[in-house]
Structure 1
Amino acid sequence: MMVMVPLLQGVVRLLALPVYVLVLLGLWDPLWKRLFPYFMTIFSRFYNRKLHKEKQQLFSNLADFAGSSGSLSLLEIGVGHGANFQFYPFGCRIIGTDPNPNVEKYLLKNIAENQHLRFEGFILASGEDLHQVPDSSVDVVVGTLVLCSVVNVKAVLKEVVRVLRPGGAFYFMEHVAADRSSWTYFWQQVYDPTWQRLGDGCSLIRETWKDLENENFSKLNLSHIRTPLKWTPTCAHILGYAIK
């Protein structure tokens, strides 16, 4: 079965030939950086409908991590247009970061629609470098569908631990590699090279749970689930939270 993977990867590349031509011409990345936030706002609405129950349950105890001030300070990495805002508790103070400057106009629109939150700023930054956020300064860090596309997962998690206060929590929800013996994993390997081009670096075959298990968290609450996205290569997910 595995000998078929390179052949089928070639077929997928052929079907996506216009994209690879634009890559060779140096036109794809700047074009897609502008268009990607728009498509993600559409996808996020669909995703939130399909996984509303899972997200609601995941974020149900966010308020438990509020600091001594009584209000929750939350940093969301890869915030995009703010797809998670509807799940955050009243009065939550949010800072959003994203490496793509084109998300900001979509983010501001969503902020206006979520008046129960206090938005304290947008930082143009990758998850690997959050130097603008002080050490031990936030109660909670959130990252959903982010670790699949960052350049260095370990570096991101190091930054997450650095900015969290002692006892703070990192909430995550990520699609990951399926079981290696499954057909899902076979097709994930087939699609992965082209998926990364179309998904702004998003990889289908990361075993992100291993990075979380190896990071210096005092407690890790992690579940593997198969989402309602059953016929897609992103159906295998992990979700949960880790405490510093």
Structure 2
Amino acid sequence: MDSTLNSILPDGEGAKVGEHFYKVSQSMLQGRSSRENSQSNSKSNFSLPLKSAASILLAIGAIRFPSILARIIMGGVTTLGTLLSLMYLSRSFQQYVVSMFQPAVMKGLHKDIREIKKELLKGMKGSVLDFGCGDGLYIRDIANAKDVTSVMSLEPNANLHENIRITAEKYGVTTEIYPKFSSQLLAERGEELFDFVIIGNVLCEVPNQESVLDDVYRLLKPEGIVYFVEHVACVAGSETRQFQDMINPLWKTVSGGCNCNRETLKEIWKKKWQLFAWEVKTSGPWFINRIHLGLAMKPKVGTEARL
């Protein structure tokens, strides 16, 4: 009797299962043997060894099946655990995995906000920074804006750079790919560089939202505009919010650092933006389908009063 089967089933049940399948296989083969005997007497000489061999094979298969299934399950769990461990320990491996599925996920999300996004981006002009641009999802929108004069695609994940180049070439957009972070861009190039900044599902995964928003504020020219879209935390105290808080450590590991329970709009509001924002429910997973999107304008010095 297979030891793994006995370890899975209650005491003695492994033997009962094996005996049951052995009897069933014998009964099936006896019926088959009777039919064969009625067709040809010569075949009856082979029915006994055939029946015995097949019965033994069926019984062994029935006994060992739970063992094989258990090993498959354990192998899957081990593989998943190894993958999650690598993603947790290695930022570069995490970025590689995310780069494989992120484009499809983002395209699915943006189908639900296509029309409102189109309206919010139609005023894009001047120098544009696509902040944390991923694989270049917004390049098509940039190509449709007639008054854009220059484009920078800021994306530290090098695994996505080739996709950015391909997309930019497809839509005829000339863009500089900046492979570092916003703090480094400020240090190297200075402040007040851009008329328009696109932040699409970036603030959910940056280590420090306040610091990044400070960088964006400094990179914008006076009266420059930020377009933002982010999935955000659900209402505090709700069952969905409790689930978000519980699952966030795992979600953060498998999604490249994304947090599903951030109150991003509150962080944006802390700056002295002139702010217009909307809430949209998308068709995405129920715990990340609450979306805030809108425009925020950096006021001129001395005119920080909110609209």
CA displacement 1:28-66 (0-9 Å, x = unmatched): 43322223222112222222323322321321322xxx3
TM-score by length of 1: 0.81
The residue aligned with 1:100 is 157
CA displacement 1:180-202 (0-9 Å, x = unmatched): 23332122122211010011111
* 2:102 is aligned with 1:40: yes
Query: How many Å separate the matches in 1 of 2:197 and 2:104?
Result: 24
Query: How many Å separate the matches in 2 of 1:99 and 1:122?
Result: 9
* 2:222 is aligned with 1:166: yes
Total equivalences in the alignment = 218
Structure 1 residues 15, 53: CA separation in 2 closer, same or farther (over 3 Å shift)?
Answer: farther
Mark the structure with the bigger radius of gyration: 2
* 2:293 is aligned with 1:236: no
Higher mean alpha-carbon deviation, 231-240 vs 153-162, is at: 231-240
The residue aligned with 1:29 is 91
Query: How many Å separate the matches in 2 of 1:29 and 1:156?
Result: 19
Query: How many Å separate the matches in 2 of 1:40 and 1:221?
Result: 27
Higher mean alpha-carbon deviation, 77-86 vs 178-187, is at: 178-187
Query: How many Å separate the matches in 1 of 2:193 and 2:237?
Result: 42
Structure 1 residues 50, 224: CA separation in 2 closer, same or farther (over 3 Å shift)?
Answer: closer
Query: How many Å separate the matches in 2 of 1:197 and 1:128?
Result: 24
* 2:245 is aligned with 1:183: no
Code of the aligned partner of 1:44: M
Do the aligned partners of 2:87 and 2:93 also contact (CA within 8 Å) in 1? no
The residue aligned with 2:269 is 213
* 2:278 is aligned with 1:223: yes
Give SS of 1:169's match: strand
Give SS of 1:37's match: helix
Do the aligned partners of 1:55 and 1:87 also contact (CA within 8 Å) in 2? no
Write out the 4+ residue segments of structure 1 that deviate beyond 6 Å after TM superposition: none
Give SS of 1:80's match: coil
Higher mean alpha-carbon deviation, 197-206 vs 13-22, is at: 13-22
Query: How many Å separate the matches in 2 of 1:164 and 1:39?
Result: 31
The residue aligned with 2:178 is 123
1:18 paired residue among 82, 93, 106 = 82
Gaps of at least 5 residues in structure 1 are 1-12, 67-71
The residue aligned with 2:167 is 110
Query: How many Å separate the matches in 2 of 1:15 and 1:188?
Result: 25
Query: How many Å separate the matches in 2 of 1:14 and 1:226?
Result: 36
Name which structure has the greater RCO, CA cutoff 8 Å, separation 6+.
1
Do the aligned partners of 2:84 and 2:254 also contact (CA within 8 Å) in 1? no
Code of the aligned partner of 2:109: Y
Code of the aligned partner of 2:235: D
Deviation at 1:18, TM superposition (A): 3.4
Query: How many Å separate the matches in 2 of 1:29 and 1:163?
Result: 27
For residues 84-95 of structure 1, the aligned pairs below 5 Å read 84-88=138-142, 89-90=145-146, 92=148, 93-95=150-152
Give SS of 1:118's match: coil
Gaps of at least 5 residues in structure 2 are 1-76, 299-307
Query: How many Å separate the matches in 1 of 2:252 and 2:80?
Result: 12
Backbone CA RMSD of aligned residues: 2.3
